[in-house]
Amino acid sequence: MKFLDQAKIYVRSGDGGAGCVSFRREKFIEFGGPDGGDGGRGGDVIIECVNGLNTLIDYRFKQHFKAKTGVHGMGKNRTGANGADVVLKVPVGTQVLDEDEETLLADLTEVGQRIVLAKGGNGGFGNAYFKTSTNQAPRRANPGQEGEERWIWLRLKLIADAGLVGLPNAGKSTFLAAVSAAKPKIADYPFTTLHPNLGVVGVDGREFVMADIPGLIEGAHEGVGLGDRFLGHVERCRVLLHLVDGTCEHAGEAYKVVRRELEAYGGGLTDKPEIVALSKADALSPELRKEQLARLKRAAKQTPIALSSLSREAIEDTLRRLLAVIDEAKQQEAAEAMPKVAEEAWRP
């Protein structure tokens, strides 16, 4: 399945049905009076967050979605049926933006969330509605209200607990394949990963979700390489694992390149907790490993982990550190979500 994380679609709700002008015509009833029914309500356009989807590929080949028009009113005080709604199903983590791509209309982060994007028009009143003591035979009825229409953007931001960042060929996909059942494409050339990958990682009987995004290079925020578009998929992560290729010329400089791109992108990525690791440690001599670790420590201002996805060196330790940061972030989020109760002084 092709991965698609952005789509532009057109939605239009249904028009309301028109009211009916009708009079009761029956034998032996001389003055039957008005009996025109009201029109039915137009259908809504609803977006719903569902489980089992991980891409917006459904909106690649169909971009126009229109709800049904309400049925017109009929005689004998019969109200028209309401128009059928259109329900757009999207994966968890989908954002709905206005046509300007800046105004956020909805952020769907939980399964079952439903948002009305375009409300259907009300049905028009039939002539029975306008009957009064002074106007007992009205010959007027309202047309139905028009529905709403708009262009919107759907943007998917994957929801994961931990995110992998780094330069191309830093070993991110290899690490994800080593710690989860995910099978990302792995090769010995840059930009092997062309779209984000998710994997469920297990350690000490517990699990969390990890996201791997395509590598960044210098100037990614200006569109160089694959750009920084995929960084949106790690905006929701609680912790970042920054992998630096141990076989590169200077580990410290490689680290700074990615950090500059994260800072240029924004989105609060530079404020997230970060664990730094020197990957491909099994391919380094003891002297080179010590030198690269020292360079990386000076640049990151923290002690990096030397790990190898091939020999599984320090893999378990890295996962435990990630899990500890995730647990701490969850506890902080739970504490902030609890309602603050004002403490009142006790009085007898």
CB atoms within 10 A of CB 329: 16
pLDDT in tens, 245-298: 988 889 899 999 999 988 888 888 888 899 999 998 888 898 999 999 999 999
Residue 184 annotated as lining a ligand binding site: no
Residue 39 annotated as lining a ligand binding site: no
Q: How far apart are CA 124 and CA 283, in angstroms?
A: 76
CB 45 within 8 A of CB 118: yes
Residue 228 annotated as lining a ligand binding site: no
Closest residue by Cα to residue 63 from 189, 151, 159: 151
Q: How far apart are CA 79 and CA 37, in angstroms?
A: 5
158 compared with 41, residue with greater pLDDT? 41
Residue 60: its pLDDT value, please?
87
The residue extents of the domains of the chain are 1-156, 162-336
Closest residue by Cα to residue 124 from 17, 44, 234: 17
Query: Under CATH, which number does the domain 1-156 receive?
Result: 2.70.210.12
> At residue 343, does pLDDT exceed 60?
no
Residue 308 annotated as lining a ligand binding site: yes
Beta carbons within 8 Å of 50's beta carbon, 6+ residues apart:
89, 90, 91, 111
Residue 247 annotated as lining a ligand binding site: no
Residue 280 annotated as lining a ligand binding site: yes
Residue 170 annotated as lining a ligand binding site: yes
Residue 240 annotated as lining a ligand binding site: no
Residue 180 annotated as lining a ligand binding site: no
Residue 341: its pLDDT value, please?
47
Residue 75: its pLDDT value, please?
92
- Which percentage of the chain shows pLDDT scores above 70? 96
Residue 214 annotated as lining a ligand binding site: yes
SS3 of residue 255 by DSSP: helix
Residue 74: its pLDDT value, please?
94
Amino acid identity of 24?
R
Integer angstrom CA distances of residue 322 from 232, 282, 306, 318: 20, 22, 15, 6
> According to the CATH classification, is domain 162-336 in 3.30.70.890?
no
CA angle (71, 72, 76) in 5-degree steps: 115
